[in-house]
Structure 1
Amino acid sequence: MKKTLLADSSLLFVAFIWGTTFVLVQNAIRVLEPMSFNATRFFLAGMILLLWLFLFYRSQIKQINKKMLTAGILMGLWLFSGYALQTFGLLYTTSSKAGFITGLSVVLVPLFAFFLLKQKPKPNAILGVLVATVGLYMLTLGDSVSVNKGDVLVFFCAISFALHIIFTGKYTTLFPTLLLTVTQILTVAVLCSVFAFIFEDWKAIYSKDILLSNEVIIALLITSIFATALAFFLQTNFQKYTTPTRVALIFAMEPVFAALGGYYLADERLTLIAIFGCLFIFVGMIFTELPGRKKKSIQASEHISY
């Protein structure tokens, strides 16, 4: 129980980091294009964790093998796919709609967990997912219901993020946390670099005026250290003590923290319906913490199930 509480608290802290750094990233990508920014961000984070590995966990290097690398690269592929599809989707849709559709991973995760991991969600989790989804709609969309090709791209982004959570849950108990984190982050860095080279003016990375601007420097330092290296290490380390469904619900708090961050850091104002949306997401997360009905027999071999 203590490990589960620690895991949930740590993952909520991850959602807090991602949400509150949203304004910083928005400011940075006005100067440096998104893929170029993410390539630099993930490369710096990968180097930080790689240095940490060589300094303090050198013994883990012996555990590098084909299966571990395959697992880390697969996690990195889904993570990169989520970022890339979201970035291109934002060219055709609004940030509010993208936020809601990305948040639909909270619905997709329990479905994938059921079919891929054979984890059946408890009634409390199902109710929490439904309430949180309503909250996401209220927070990000209001009365907007139209669909365009950007929305479709972002929906596939939600699928990618959901599968990243699923595969993180699958592999995190099999391989060392730090090795998995380094592998997936460097995978994202390489793929972002390739896409930046193809689709963006990647030479801007070498421009001192751009790379050393206050917006980019501050965003890169904070996101590479906290929102990437630390955040993904915490997710990879603590997800083994909880379930993918609960992780998705906790991560549904990210747009709530983003809204609060926008309010305090960018003087953005929340509408009444958005405030109620935040409350719904919070309530949805709380539902998963409520004790369910005890069954007469519970298999001791079960890890944690809903």
Structure 2
Amino acid sequence: MFATVILLPFLIFNTNNRSELRSLSKKQWGFGLLSGLFLAAHYVLWFESLQYTSIASSTVIVTLQPLFSMVGGYFLFKERFTKGAIIGCLIAISGSIVIGWQDFQISGEALYGDILAFIAAGVITAYFFISQYVRKDLSLIPYSVISYGSSSLFLGIFAYTQQSSFFNYTAQTWWSFIGLAFIATILGQTIFNWLLKWMSTTVISMSILGETIGTCILAYFILNETISLQQGAGILLIFIGLTLFLLQPYPNKKA
């Protein structure tokens, strides 16, 4: 919701954005609302998974997202990746798995949480595919407002069915909400949506694997956590995989 509020002035006070919003077709509205539904479903599934499994397990499973992207890109957008790109993808994914494997859980309730995380990875990939398709003809701000706004609506409905509180939070929590909206959504998700006009979902998904490297480095400097030999090996694999993937030609599209 906060991300939508932050973006609204850029929609309301920009003539081109307002005009584009008014001229949207039913199909564009439909895909915009559908993207919001997928984004909301991802958040629900992801946070629900953490009730049953560890963050490490969820992180390992989410690293499978590039595989969803490659398969989906092949069938939906006729993208053809080189062998080097596929090998780079697998190397980077294996690096993320190496980092999180020591804390990975796959038994009892954890298995249910792992399944939810797996579905969440597939759902967010579907969201990116919709964004990739819609952004070909729709500007960033109108699309983001529709997507985030509808996502907030769907999440609000879900929260109401769960009898969750909408207002009873501390000032610190409210500031956390605003921080997440600005940093994670505006500076994160919205930048991805902007890039999807020119890049494929697979490229975006692969770049997200770099977050694992950043997390380990920040934990080292900010939280004084040591980087184990296993984590170091995983970071090296991710770096090698990403480098190999990004050095490959942009995915070809079969006519």
Q: CA shift at 1:101, angstroms? A: 0.4
1:206 to 134, 143, 167: 167
Tell me if the contact between 1:249 and 1:284 (Cα under 8 Å) persists in the aligned partners: no
* C-alpha distance in 1 between matches for 2:67 and 2:76: 15
Aligned mates of 1:160, 1:135 — CA distance in 2: 23
**1:58-85 deviation per Cα after TM superposition (whole angstroms, max 9, x unaligned):** 3333323322211111212222222111
Unaligned runs of 5+ in 2: none
Distance in 1 of aligned mates of 2:131 and 2:18: 23
Q: State the TM-score, normalized to the length of structure 2.
A: 0.88
Code of the residue aligned with 1:136 in structure 2: it is S
Percent same amino acid at aligned positions? 22
Say which of 110, 133, 145 aligns to 2:93.
133
**2:252 counterpart residue number:** 305
Match of 1:221 among 164, 173, 178: 178
Q: Using the alignment, how far apart are the partners of 1:304 and 1:50 within structure 2?
A: 35
Q: How many residues align?
A: 248
- For 1:291 and 1:219, locate their aligned partners in 2 and report how far apart those are by CA, in whole Å: 39
Show the 5 A alignment for 1:55-94.
Answer: 55-56=13-14, 57-94=17-54
Given that 1:71 and 1:180 are in contact with CA atoms closer than 8 Å, whether structure 2 keeps it comes out as no
Query: Partners of 2:183 and 2:66 in 1: how far apart?
Result: 23
Alignment of 1:277-288 (within 5 A): 277-288=234-245
2 CA distance for matches of 1:145 and 1:58? 49
Residue 193 (structure 2) aligned to one of 236, 241, 247 = 236
What secondary structure is seen at the aligned counterpart in 2 of 1:240?
Answer: coil
Distance, in Å, in 1 between the alignment partners of 2:153 and 2:170 is 19
- 3-state SS of paired residue (2:102): coil
CA displacement at 1:143 relative to structure 2? 7.0
Given that residues 125 and 246 in structure 1 are in contact (C-alpha distance below 8 angstroms), is that contact kept between their aligned partners in structure 2?
A: no
Counterparts in 2 of 1:122 and 1:222: CA distance versus 1, 3 Å: same
2:53 alignment partner, SS class: coil
Partner of 1:264: 221
Aligned equivalents of 2:190 and 2:164: distance in 1? 31
Counterpart check, 1:49 vs 2:12: no
Unaligned runs of 5+ in 1: 1-42, 293-302
Alignment equivalent of 1:169, drawn from 128, 132, 151: 132
| Structural RMSD (CA) | 2.1
SS at structure 1 position matched to 2:81: coil
2:141 pairs with 1:178: yes
With over 3 angstroms needed to count, the CA separation of the structure-2 counterparts of 1:265 and 1:77, relative to structure 1, is farther
Q: Which position in structure 2 is the counterpart of 1:103? A: 63
In 1, distance between residues paired with 2:157 and 2:236?
Answer: 40
How far the C-alpha of 1:196 sits from its partner, in A, is 1.8
Amino acid at match of 1:201: S
SS of residue in 1 equivalent to 2:130 = helix
Say if 1:120 and 1:305, in contact at 8 Å, map to a contact too: yes
TM-superposed CA distance for 1:198, in Å, is 2.2
SS in 1 for 2:138: coil
1:187 has 2:145 as partner: no
Q: Please tell me whether the aligned partners of residues 90 and 98 of structure 1 are also in contact (alpha carbons under 8 angstroms).
A: yes
Paired residue secondary structure (2:232): helix
